[in-house]
Amino acid sequence: MKPTAIIADDEQHLSNFLKDRLAALWPELNVIALAANGPEALRLIDDHVPDIVFLDIRMPGLTGLEVAGRIDVKTRVVFVTAFDQYAVDAFDKQAVDYLLKPVTDDRLQRAIDRLKEKLTAKEVPQDINAILKSLANVLPQAKSNYLRFIRASVGELTKQIPVDEVYYFQAQDKYVSVYTKEGESLIRTPLAELQEQLNPDEFWQIHRSTIVNVNRIAGTKRDIMGHTLVKLKDVKAELPVSRGYAHLFKGM
């Protein structure tokens, strides 16, 4: 059987470029899916269990390192990174397969040759969790000074809500509603001001009045008018996506 692969990169033109170069240099490889963010990559990997996954390091929702730490060890990981040489040295020291953006044919061919050798030898992929911890300590990190908790009101009660428990925020007149699995709370912070305090990799604005937690997205669908709706996990809400934000869900 042909080996299978998934490519995960939030920049679609880069995913398409890598898919095209793989088709030229390794025609036997079957690229079965492209993912546009971390959660989608994890879902596709769980569904298909590919032989190989090419993971961009920085993606919305989950980073490439976070995705790699959650997948089955049967799948070989090749990281794709735009980091500088200092960070690339860290990959070399950990003996991890990686591709440096912009990906060149020479570098891609070397990675392909190594992958072919490992697949032919039926070599069991190593558990990379220890390697991931080492890499996380040396690779450049995104800002960490984002909101972690929100103080919101439910009637006369004021609650402190962990941000990662929020499903979505929605502007309502003078207030912003905060929706969690437990229900609705209210804050007075304007949506635009709130957005500046949230991690943009985890919270996407999908409408002028709505910001959604990417990790709470189950999928998308289209209504009879062709508009995109976001379906959430564990709750019945379906959120409309404005035309200007529809590109965020291409490939979903």
- Express each pLDDT in 29-63 by its tens digit: 999 999 988 888 988 999 999 999 999 988 877 78
Cβ-based neighbour number of residue 96 at 10 Å: 18
pLDDT digits (tens, 9 = 90+) for 215-233: 999 988 888 887 889 999 9
Query: Per-residue pLDDT averaged across 189-201, rounded?
Result: 87
In this prediction the pTM is 0.55
Write down the CATH number for the domain with range 4-138: 3.40.50.2300
Higher per-residue confidence, 98 vs 5: 5
Higher per-residue confidence, 209 vs 57:
209
What is the rounded CA–CA span in Å between residue 38 and residue 41? 5
Higher model confidence: residue 116 or residue 251? 116
Burial class (CB in 10 A: 0-12, 13-18, 19+), 24: exposed
pLDDT score, position 243: 85
Amino acid at 92: D
Q: Is pLDDT of 207 > 80?
A: yes
- At 241-251, the pLDDT tens digits run 998 888 888 75
Between CA 136 and CA 67 the distance in angstroms is: 13
Confidence band of 165 (pLDDT split at 50, 70, 90): very high
Instruction: State yes or no: pLDDT of 138 exceeds 80.
Output: no
The pLDDT, as a whole number, for residue 144 is 46
Whether the per-residue pLDDT at 24 is higher than 90: the answer is yes
pLDDT of residue 201: 80
Q: Residue 85: its pLDDT value, please?
A: 54
CATH 3.40.50.2300 segments of the chain: 4-138
Q: Where do you find CATH 2.40.50.1020 in the chain?
A: 149-249
Please give the pLDDT value at position 142.
41
Q: Name the band, by pLDDT with cuts 50, 70 and 90, for residue 72.
A: confident
For the domain made up of 149-249, the CATH class stated in words is mainly beta
Which region holds residue 251: left if phi is over 0, alpha if psi is between -120 and 50, else beta? left
Q: In the chain, what percentage of residues exceed pLDDT 90?
A: 38
Mean pLDDT of 1-23: 93
